[in-house]
Amino acid sequence: MKWTAVILVLVLLLATAGCTNLAARDGKSQDPGTVYEPGGVAGSAPAEDLDGTGSSSDTTGTRLIRTADLGVDVPSLEPALDRVRGIAREQNGTVAGLELRAGSGDRRTATVTVRVPEDRFEATLGALRTVGTVRSESVQAQDVTEEYVDLEAKRDSLSRQRDQYTRIMANTSGVADVLKVQEEIERVQVELDRLEGRLRYLESRTAFSRITLRLQEPAPLAGGALPSIVEVLGTGVQGFFAVLSGIVILLITALPLVLLAAAAWFLYRRYRRRRET
């Protein structure tokens, strides 16, 4: 009887330990940090980013389109442009656009568009500030996360519709029904292509940032170089002949009036002499 009680106690202890281990295993299988997505597999963990660069299709991350506009005064355009190209290469970017203009007073300007990876945006902007003297700066960030997630959801829905229509097409025999289903497939495919194009555009704009750099040379001196002695003498001679020609023109213009005045004076004097005699 005594050994029977001992055996029963041992059996109860083993059963209790087994239940405890089972509960512990069940508790570990329920990861509190697991996110259950619609259409996903319950208990599946999110995929890890093995390369550390971030996945372009990760809909849970924030997607920003970052741009900057930088106005810089430089002594000369050519060395400044060479430095901008060097900075773009160092940051694994490219010069996407270049426009040169000759402004007022022979002041030259250049507009350069630099395209760099999003994670090099701040470093590139800081390097471009050292090209010259910064006169203006503006930075913008457009959050397109909501649009991107919405487009992905619509794309997945349209893909399912297309697959469903394709299965219906395989089981359809009537010509009219086949044409109708084919029309629906083409309609869905056109909309799907449009959404995928927009998604590719957003992926490109969020993966690479754009910096517009407006370079400007200093304005030339207002006075310019001092005139030479020959230029001064030439200007004086031109002025003298200009005054002389003005006097001649004045005399020619006034000559008829002088002649009329002289004739009137002569007739008046003659009239007075006749009256006196």
Domain boundaries, the chain: 66-142, 145-208
Amino acid code (one letter) for 240: F
Greater model confidence, 109 or 27: 109
Give the phi and the psi of residue 146 in degrees, each rounded to 5: -60, -45
Percentage of the chain exceeding pLDDT 70: 73
Q: Give the contacts of 189 (CB within 8 A, at least 6 positions apart).
A: 162
For residue 208, what are its two tokens? 């690479």
Averaging pLDDT over each range in 12-26, 134-148, 226-240, which range is the top one? 134-148
Contact assessment for residue 217 and residue 107, using Cβ atoms and an 8 Å cutoff: yes
pLDDT score, position 85: 94
Q: Give the contacts of 192 (CB within 8 A, at least 6 positions apart).
A: 155, 158, 159, 162
Helical (H) or strand (E) element with 262: helix 229-276
Greater model confidence, 91 or 54: 91
Measure the CA–CA gap between 94 and 128, rounded to whole angstroms.
Answer: 13
For residue 99, what are its two tokens? 């426009």
Domain spanning 66-142 has what CATH number?
3.30.70.260
